[in-house]
Each structure stands twice: as C-alpha cells, then as structure tokens.
Amino acid sequence: MTRSLRDLIAESRRAVIFTGAGISTESGIPDFRSPGGIWSKMKPIYYDEFVGSEDKRRESWTRTFSGVMRWTGAAPNPGHYAVARLVARGKVASVITQNIDNLHQESGVPAGQVIELHGNASYATCLDCGLRHELEVLKQSFLGRGEIPACRDCGGIVKTATISFGQAMPPDKMERARAETLDCDLFIVLGSSLVVYPAAGFPLLAKENDARLVIVNKEPTEQDRYADLVIHDSIGAVMTAAAPLD
Ligand code: NAD
Ligand code: ZN
C-alpha cells in the first residue's frame, strides 16, 4: 500500500495535501468526532454570541487560557514532518488544512503555502481593524486584571483568529484552495472524516478535474469509493514511509 503512495507521489508533478484533525492526534490533540473530542465535553460558542455578549467573551477566553481546548502548546509529529519534506522537495505546492493548531507551520511548511480554512488558534486578531494580537500578552491582562481582550489600536473586539461556528468561511482562502485543487494532479487527504462541508468538497473537485485522489484515514470515509488509493492506517507511519528521510 505505502509503496504505491510513494509511486503516486513520484509520478506527480504538482500535489496538494489536505489535512484534518486526524493528522494532529499523534501530537496529543483530540480529533473532533472521537468520544474524547472537545465538543462532546462543552458547547461551542457561536460567533454571534461571542460578538454580542461580554459574558460569552469571558467564557471563551477562559477556555482559551485554561488550555482546555488543547489546540495550542502541542508539537508537530512525524506526519507533519513528512508533509513538510514533500513541500521542501517541491512535490507539494500547498497544504490545505481544516486545523487551527499551527502545526504545519511549526513543522517547517512556509506560512504562505498553508491555506487555513478554519483559521488559527495560536494568535488573535481585532474583528474591526484586523490587527494581530499575541495570546501571551492578552493572557497576562486577562488572568492578572480580568480584562477582556480589546484592540490596543482601535478598541475593537479581539478574538482568536479561528473561524467560529456560525461565522462565514474566509472567501480568499476558499478561492485559493479551489485554485490549488484545480491545479494539482495528486490530492492527498490526511486525517479527515470528510463530513464538514464546504471543506470536504475539495477532494471530489480534484477527482472531477482528473487528479488522482488518495485518502489516508484510520476509519473509512464516505469518499473512499472515489479514491484511487485508500489507506486505513496511522498517518505518521504511512507518511514517513511515503516520504522517507534522505
Ligand atoms: P474529524 O475529527 O471529523 O475526523 C478526523 C479523522 O481522522 C477521523 O475519521 C479519524 O478516524 C482519523 N484519524 C484520527 N487519528 C488518526 C491517525 N493518527 N491516523 C489516521 N487517521 C486518524 O476531523 P475533521 O475532518 O478535521 O473535522 C473536524 C473539525 O474540527 C475541523 O473542521 C477542524 O477545524 C476542527 N478541529 C481541529 C483540530 C486541530 O486543529 N488539531 C482538532 C479538532 C477539531
Ligand atoms: Zn482594532
């Protein structure tokens, strides 16, 4: 199996990698749908609630800074590093990710080649002017003085740079992901149950456009039947074999 993933990669001129929560479980971050997943423990805070209520903002920041979300502070694992090698070798043009954990960048993929469909939980931005705010700075004033983060420039509401439930997908990222999908001849899905749309539409778009489709996921997905190669195994081992160290 793995040998043929290596072959498909060798034959590809331009590949795209699409990742979901499953690539980060080997870094200790629970995925979405398994029993220990975060939303089985607490209710998500919707975008409108966050913007409309100071109490909800306090609750949200309490979750962020208590570390209960477990999306920050983890380190990349062999799956992330194998992906980074394929990018460094010029095989993979872009990594489209549903993850918000920043681990592709931390494993060495240049930020410009990571397309984050659901944003990034490792920093925050002002909802009014877009200014970036570092979590460490916000954490000090929140925990020390109980200050709910506000923009140091314009006073606007500050939120982690993630796409919340009820918030629109970023149109620029969606457009880039679509263009990359249409430009590739090999589309590799790593660790996504492929049920969260519109993101889950990209593998089928690639397939319709005559790219080869590979799905690496521990459990079957609804899109397995469209794939040229399906591997139900752990991403770290599969990708280390598919993209070995020199
Ligand atoms: P998902 O939880 O729906 O599916 C993850 C899939 O990965 C599962 O089918 C599981 O069988 C598989 N998997 C888990 N560990 C694996 C491993 N080591 N090797 C191979 N397969 C493995 O995830 P999704 O499709 O990404 O959707 C969940 C949503 O929640 C996403 O939109 C994402 O934004 C968000 N989320 C992000 C993170 C993160 O940033 N790390 C974590 C949890 C949830
Ligand atoms: Zn601002």
Q: What is the pLDDT of residues 150-199, one digit of tens each?
A: 999 999 999 999 999 999 999 999 999 999 999 999 999 999 999 988 99
Residue 1 has a pLDDT of 47
Q: What CATH number has the domain spanning 30-70+120-162?
A: 3.30.1600.10
Residue 246 has a pLDDT of 77
What spacing in Å lies between the alpha carbon of 150 and ligand 2's midpoint? 8
Instruction: Please tell me the pTM assigned to this model.
Output: 0.93
Task: Give the binding-site residues of ligand 1, using a 6 Å CB cut-off.
Answer: 20-22, 24-26, 29, 31-33, 71, 98-101, 118, 191-193, 196, 217-219, 234-235
Question: CATH 3.30.1600.10 region(s) of the chain?
Answer: 30-70+120-162
Nearest CA to ligand 1 atom 28: 32
Residue 186 has a pLDDT of 98
Q: Write the CB contacts of 80 (distance below 8 Å, at least 6 apart in sequence).
A: 23, 24, 27, 103, 104, 106, 107
Q: Which ligand is nearest to the CA of 222?
A: 1
Question: CATH 3.40.50.1220 region(s) of the chain?
Answer: 1-29+75-118+169-246
What spacing in Å lies between the alpha carbon of 161 and ligand 2's midpoint? 13
104 is catalytic: no
Which CATH class for the 1-29+75-118+169-246 domain?
alpha beta
Nearest atom (ligand 1) to Cα of 163: 34
Give the residues of the chain that fall short of pLDDT 70. Answer: 1-3, 33-39, 69
Distant-in-sequence contacts of 88-94, Cβ < 8 A, 24+ apart: 89/243, 91/9, 91/12, 91/15, 92/15, 92/16, 92/17, 93/14, 93/15, 93/16, 93/180, 93/183, 93/184, 94/16, 94/17, 94/176, 94/177, 94/180
